[in-house]
Chains A and B, each alone.
Chain A
Amino acid sequence: QKEVEQDPGPLSVPEGAIVSLNCTYSNSAFQYFMWYRQYSRKGPELLMYTYSSGNKEDGRFTAQVDKSSKYISLFIRDSQPSDSATYLCAMIYTGTASKLTFGTGTRLQVTL
């Protein structure tokens, strides 16, 4: 079983829809959670970063962490065609040698 599970999609939504992207994880030691956006043939770019359970909002994006359920989410409000990309969750625990572990990514297509 992978440490981080993410539905690969693809997920297709109409412009203006609310998008929900999710990851589950098995390692309770993970403390920091990130969401990356990756456009085709580009490197991943950091979108959101959270530490504790709860919500964090940045413009149209909200990151949610539920450590008790080992479940994280990214919500995109008023989705735009420019949001079409692959979204990857990532997580890490602190320690001497900490690995940054990714989900497989969810491909999102926002249609006009």
Chain B
Amino acid sequence: DAGITQSPRHKVTETGTPVTLRCHQTENHRYMYWYRQDPGHGLRLIHYSYGVKDTDKGEVSDGYSVSRSKTEDFLLTLESATSSQTSVYFCAISALGQGGTEAFFGQGTRLTVV
């Protein structure tokens, strides 16, 4: 299995509180992605990174920010959590541009905002 670890795996938080999810990789892949998965919507891209300090928005980026200060870590922050952000969050990595293209996923983080 690709070396991707998401933490925490489960979290319950209150509306209005900040939340940070972490994705850690040991593969030295250039690309990292954050998705959310909701019934009827599939996987929707929140933000992605194509290098240290290089990030861009996906289709559902409102209310989320990201940071990548090291190749191995990609953080997703909900500045002020809302109930609509209750979802399962997946991190993915890809070696695009490094001789590989396939993306590999972490185990997911189940976030509940109450």
Interface residues of A (CB under 8 A from B): 6, 8, 32, 34, 36, 42-46, 49, 51, 88, 90, 92, 94, 96-105
Contacts and interface: CB of A to CB of B under 8 A. Distances in A.
16 contacts: A6-B42, A43-B90, A43-B108, A44-B90, A46-B102, A46-B103, A49-B101, A88-B42, A94-B97, A98-B96, A99-B58, A100-B45, A100-B103, A102-B42, A104-B40, A104-B41
Contacts of B54: 97
A105 B42 CA distance: 6
A69 B5 CA distance: 38
A90 B103 contact: yes
Interface in B37-94: 40-45, 48, 50, 54, 56, 58, 90, 92, 94
Given A42-B107, A43-B90, A45-B105, A99 B42 contact: no
A32 B48 CA distance: 18
Interface residues of B, number: 27
Given A92-B101, A98-B96, A43 B42 contact: no
Contacts of A98: 31, 50, 96
A101 B35 CA distance: 10
B79 to A, nearest CB: 23
Those 7 A-B pairs whose CB atoms lie nearest each other, nearest first:
A104-B42, A43-B105, A102-B43, A32-B101, A105-B42, A44-B105, A49-B102
Given A51-B101, A92-B96, A94-B101, 4 more contacts: A46-B103, A92-B101, A101-B45, A102-B45
